[in-house]
Structure 1
Amino acid sequence: MIDFEIPDETKLVRAQVREFVQSVCIPAEKNLNVDTFDEILAELRLKARAQGLWCPFFPIEWGGMGLKPLANALVQMELGESMLGALALNTQGPDDATMMTLLRHGTAYQHEKFLKPLVEGQKRVCYAMTEKGGGADATGMKTSAVEVGDNYVLNGDKWYISSANVADIAVVMAKTDPDAPRHQQFSTFIVELPNPGFNILRNIDTMHRHTPLGERLGAAHCEIQIKDLVVPKENLLGGRGQGFNMGQHRLGYGRLRHGMHNVAKAQRALDMAAKHVLERETFGKKLSDRQSVQFMLADCAAEIYKARLMLMHIAYKAENGLDMTQENSIAKIFLANMVHQVVDTALQLHGSLGYSRDTPLADWYTSIRSQRLVDGPDEVHRWKVGKNVLRAFERDGTTAMAAGGDLL
């Protein structure tokens, strides 16, 4: 059965991170702009490292905190309340999942050359997989990698590559073996940036407001032209034909990290809503006294509660080496919709103030819409979950094991 008891040392770490986010990161947001970004982030990172807060998910021997999945999930659910939280501890996406991929699959040379400066926070990395033609189907990518002497030469286009504009390293997936089985056609390459063969055409304009600060934070999504990009063979990551499998493993963690940060953002939005309705009066009565408002808050609380339980269950399975594929997809769908509902409700309760830029709610509202698309759209995950429900019934005569039936 699942033990929901959180170890005392984990509670202490969570409390320490919560205090750091609330008393250091969130106040720093007030003075943050494109000109102060470098100075403020450097100061936050010095303070974080002085407290032993660095790369929560990474092994201690690499300078990280070595947290297991449950502790990391609880920490991430605190960090996500501030736009500076994850950056301050060098646990921001897309770097974190890519660093884990490099750790697991990289050679000693790749660890020293590329991973070490990433863990130290000296460099940033982007992960270039997505293409316009492929969309949610990663096996539809067309970028090619042809072996030429001691190198591979890559050609193609990449689309929606997050943080490419601030990256010093790119991890690029390309097709090396077009005649191999579909999931063995792709390989992954480490590319040092800038590189004339890796050309950022533009930061794609999206429904979320683009700002110089946002781009500096790494929130941009780039369109890339890859033309005659020469990559040494020693930069092949994880072996030829292993790109797809490595990518799926990497995305698995990324989906969960998005979900953890979504819980944090939803919690901060609900806190803002509660504070506002306790202070706001209309028609001679506080908003907080109105039953309809209390119902709205109750619905948000229920959604956040379910979200926390999902993540704790998945963390439990991860710590015990159990398969969590089904739960990961279910949680990915739920958490993306949960944060939208809570932020939307908080915005509604703030009225015109919420629709303005005087609170972060309007920005959050437009940014979180992407959560239902990134790392696989809702529909793909629902399709996958539904297939697993049918398979469970065919195998067991019941759908229970595809619907949390192994909880006890």
Structure 2
Amino acid sequence: MDYHESPEATKLAERAREFVDEIVIPTEREQLGGGPPDDDVIADLREKARDRAVYCPQIDEEYGGMGLEFRDVLPLFEEAGRSLLGPAAMRVDAPDEGNMHTLELVGTERQKAEYLAPLVSGEIRSAFAMTEPRDGGGSDPKMLSTTAESDGDEYVINGHKWWTTQGRHADVLLTMAITDPDAHPYNGASIVLVPADADGVEFVRDIPHLGPDLDGHGHSEFRFDDVRVPRENLLGEEHTGFTIAQQRLGPARLTHCMRFSGMATRALTIAKAYMSDRSAFGTSLSNKQSLRYEIADAETGLHGARTMIRHAAREITRGEESRIPVSMSKVFAADVAQDAIDLAIQCCGGAGMSRDLPLADFYEAVRAFRLVDGADEVHKRVIARDAFDGAVDHLDELENLPRF
């Protein structure tokens, strides 16, 4: 399907596709069933990504990226998503990708030098510490309970976080905390850069979870007990944490959509190859009408998702918040990607369930997509609120209805 990308986006995607096919997928096959790859495996992939000019295209050249426009890098994200190792190899992996974007957007020059450039190069890792255990902030972020109290030229942070992706490996935690307890949470929270080795930061555990080990991220639980960090570690303006989080999450949700779109695309590719090769009841599976129609539905859904994502990305590139298109893209892409991967497993039968193929890992990974970066229900709430906005202004449409 031709989406009429810019020449830069088309060339970048072509290079990324070749890199994934020739380098990443063969490495993935060596790692299947063996747990997270060693750091030297990822380092080697990243060096090869640099050689092929597909490394960190979304960050400005000043900090070690390629400096391309957001909508032009999205096709690369889709190519990266075709392998669980692809995003890390091309340095478009969550959560670092979203955190790098946030630092580039609102970080001070000191913060960019200390954290952004090393993140781009892969020297350090980061995490976004926002979600809290019951009864803290989760799908309703207004319930945020972690605090960062001002004490002279320092913040004193106390709280409890979990589902902090990559937390165990992180060198810095972008920590959302209440800085003005008297204000509405949307106007009283801030993001503070907390070194993971700061006194009072306690790594509690990695949460056992549904999902593959091949990405090696993990999701961590932390406690903050009188953690002191300098006020210069404030990211952006004080009390604007939710505004910054929305600026981070909009693009990050779309990059998630593209990565999982790529995953679903590869799942269908594997399924179609298997169906063409496997015969049953006198013909190949690819000639069975019911399966052909299901593949057609999956391909149609993915085309719809890609189109929605590109529309939302154009709006963001134009400087629009694009909140409704992003929410629609997130819900729709998560559903069609999950359905496509589930179908791929069904089409491959026992082979689909085995760890000889990546489909089982894909299946576990995609289920989380309906929760991460906002559960389906949260996004549907946003979409429905917009849909009903102004509905009462059209009650005249009902004037001729009989009353009972």
- Counterpart CA distance in 2 for 1:229 and 1:126 is 17
The separation in 2 between residues aligned to 1:384 and 1:19, in whole angstroms, is 38
Partner of 1:401: none
Partner of 1:346: 344
Matches within 5 A, 1:201-280: 201-208=204-211, 211=213, 213-214=214-215, 217-218=216-217, 220-280=218-278
Kindly tell me: are residues 271 and 317 of structure 1, through their superposed partners in 2, closer, same or farther at Cα, counting changes over 3 Å?
same
Note if contact 2:251-2:313 (Cα within 8 Å) is conserved in structure 1: no
AA aligned opposite 1:198: V
1:6-405 alignment, distance < 5 Å:
6-32=5-31, 33=34, 37-132=38-133, 133=135, 134-208=137-211, 211=213, 213-214=214-215, 217-218=216-217, 220-391=218-389, 393=391
CA distance change for structure 1 residues 56 and 107 in 2, over 3 Å: closer, same or farther?
Answer: same
Provide Cα deviations, 1:160-209, integer angstroms capped at 9, x if missing partner: 11010111111111111110133111111111122342212111112335
What CA distance in whole angstroms lies between the structure 2 residues aligned with 1:207 and 1:43?
28
Q: What 5-or-longer segments of structure 2 have no aligned partner?
A: 396-404
Identity among equivalent pairs (%): 37
Cα separation, 2, equivalents of 1:259 and 1:370: 12
- After superposition, the Cα gap between the structure-2 partners of 1:196 and 1:395, relative to the gap in structure 1 and judged at 3 Å, is farther
Q: How does the TM-score come out when normalised to structure 2?
A: 0.92
Q: Report the Cα offset of residue 392 of structure 1.
A: 5.6
Q: String of CA shifts for 1:30-62, please: whole Å, max 9, x gaps.
A: 233568522221211111112222211111232
- Tell me the amino acid that sits aligned with residue 165 of structure 2: S
Provide Cα deviations, 1:222-269, integer angstroms capped at 9, x if missing partner.
Answer: 111111111111111112111111112111122111100111001000
1:402 maps to none
**Distance in 1 (alpha carbons) for counterparts of 2:35 and 2:351:** 25
Q: Give the distance between the partners of 2:305 and 2:358, measured in 1 at CA.
A: 22
Distance 2:185 2:179 in 1: 11
Say whether the 8 Å CA contact 1:55–1:119 is kept in structure 2: yes
Distance 1:114 1:35 in 2: 25
Letter in 1 for 2:361: D
**Aligned AA for 1:43?**
D
Which is further off, 22-31 or 200-209? 200-209
Task: Structure 1 unaligned segments of length 5 or more: list them.
Answer: 398-408
Bigger shift: 44-53 or 150-159?
44-53
Shift of 1:221: 0.9
Structure 1 position 96, deviation (Å): 1.0
Q: Which amino acid aligns with 1:115?
A: L
Contact 1:160 / 1:204 at 8 angstroms: preserved in 2? Answer: yes
Amino acid at match of 1:137: D
Q: Deviations over 1:306-336 (max 9, x none)?
A: 1111112122222323341110001110011
Contact 1:54–1:63 (8 Å) recurs in 2? no
Q: CA RMSD in A?
A: 2.0
Q: Distance in 2 between matches of 1:195 and 1:31?
A: 37
TM-score (norm 1): 0.91
Letter in 2 for 1:108: E
Distance 2:344 2:208 in 1: 26
> Distance between the aligned counterparts of 1:248 and 1:139, measured in 2?
14
Cα deviation per residue 1:132-181 (whole Å; 9 max; x = unaligned)? Answer: 22221112111111122221111110011101011111111111111013
CA distance in 1, matches of 2:338, 2:67: 32
- Alpha-carbon spacing, 1:394–1:328, altered in 2? closer, same or farther (3 Å): farther
Counterpart CA distance in 2 for 1:139 and 1:91 is: 29
Residue 4 of structure 1 and its aligned partner are, at CA, apart by: 5.3
For residue 200 of structure 1, give the secondary structure of its aligned residue in structure 2: strand
- Relative to structure 1, the CA distance from residue 57 to residue 236 in structure 2 (aligned partners, 3 Å threshold; closer, same or farther) is same
CA distance in 1, matches of 2:68, 2:36: 34
